[in-house]
Structure 1
Amino acid sequence: MFAVVRTGGKQYRVAAGDKIVVEKLAGEAGDTITLGDVLLAGEGAELKDVAGLTVSAEIVAQAKGEKVIVFKKRRRHNYRRKNGHRQRHTILKIVAIGGEKPKKAAAKKAEPAAAAEA
């Protein structure tokens, strides 16, 4: 079974056992997280209903990407600036696809009419 999930403003096609590199997520290596924004799910050529579907993943590592060099120059003005940037990202291992989203605990309403009858 596969799913298309959205995290960090990007979309990823994942299946159980896949490793993906996503924008930095909170958590330590070994933690389990749930990706709840599932856009599409299916098995083979058939599509499944995504209502209540979640993707469970384990954080493998928190890492940094390759360095990107930013170089600015203005001709004939002796203006040069060199800067570097390393984007932080999280490496995830997809554990399972499926399951219910955790529902919010509804406040229990006391029924005064039922209590008065007893």
Structure 2
Amino acid sequence: MYAVIKTGGKQYRVAEGDVIRVETLEANAGETITFDQVLMVGEGESIKVGKPYVDGSSVTAEVTAEGRGDKIRVIKFKRRQGYKRTIGHRQNYTELKITGIAG
């Protein structure tokens, strides 16, 4: 069984036992989170698609860790002007382990 959930402005296809990294959530390690914004639930040939969400379905996940991603270098450059700027960025994330899909 799998589901498509929406969190942090993005959509994720998840199955039970998957470990995913999502945008930072207000939760500590070890806590359980329930996602009610389920866009699609599927199992084999049977698929339920919501309008926009599937009624009565939810996905539960356990927070395993919080952290920051790898550094990304952002470079601004204009040729022949002597202009060059470099900055770095590290995105925060919350790591989740999917424990159940209901619906």
Shorter-chain TM-score: which interval? 0.7 to 0.9
Name the structure, 1 or 2, with higher relative contact order (CA <8 Å, separation 6+): 2
Question: Under a length normalisation based on structure 2, what TM-score does the superposition of the two structures give?
Answer: 0.88
Tell me how far 1:9 sits from its aligned partner: 1.4
Work out which of the two has the higher radius of gyration on C-alpha atoms and give 1 or 2: 1
Partner of 1:17: 17
**Among candidates 58, 63, 80, match of residue 59 of structure 1:** 63
Whole-angstrom distance in 1 between the partners of 2:30 and 2:21: 15
5+ long unaligned stretches in structure 2:
none
Whole-angstrom distance in 1 between the partners of 2:74 and 2:48: 44
Whole-angstrom distance in 1 between the partners of 2:78 and 2:48: 55
Whole-angstrom distance in 2 between the partners of 1:56 and 1:29: 14
Moved more, 57-66 or 47-56: 47-56
> Aligned-residue CA RMSD in angstroms?
1.4
Could you say which structure has the higher strand fraction? Answer: 2
**Among candidates 82, 86, 107, match of residue 86 of structure 2:** 82
Whole-angstrom distance in 2 between the partners of 1:89 and 1:78: 36
Tell me how far 1:76 sits from its aligned partner: 2.5
**Structure 1 residues 64-106: Cα deviation after superposition (integer angstroms, max 9, x where no partner):** 111110111222222221100000111100011116xxxxxxx
Length, aligned pairs only: 99
Q: Percent identity?
A: 54
Partner of 2:29: 29
Letter in 2 for 1:25: L
Question: Under a length normalisation based on structure 1, what TM-score does the superposition of the two structures give?
Answer: 0.77
Q: What is the DSSP-based 3-state SS (H/G/I as helix, E as strand, rest coil) of the residue aligned with 1:66?
A: coil
Could you say which structure has the higher helix fraction? Answer: 1
Q: What is the DSSP-based 3-state SS (H/G/I as helix, E as strand, rest coil) of the residue aligned with 2:39?
A: strand
Tell me how far 1:48 sits from its aligned partner: 3.8
Tell me how far 1:51 sits from its aligned partner: 0.7
5+ long unaligned stretches in structure 1:
100-118
Whole-angstrom distance in 1 between the partners of 2:96 and 2:45: 26
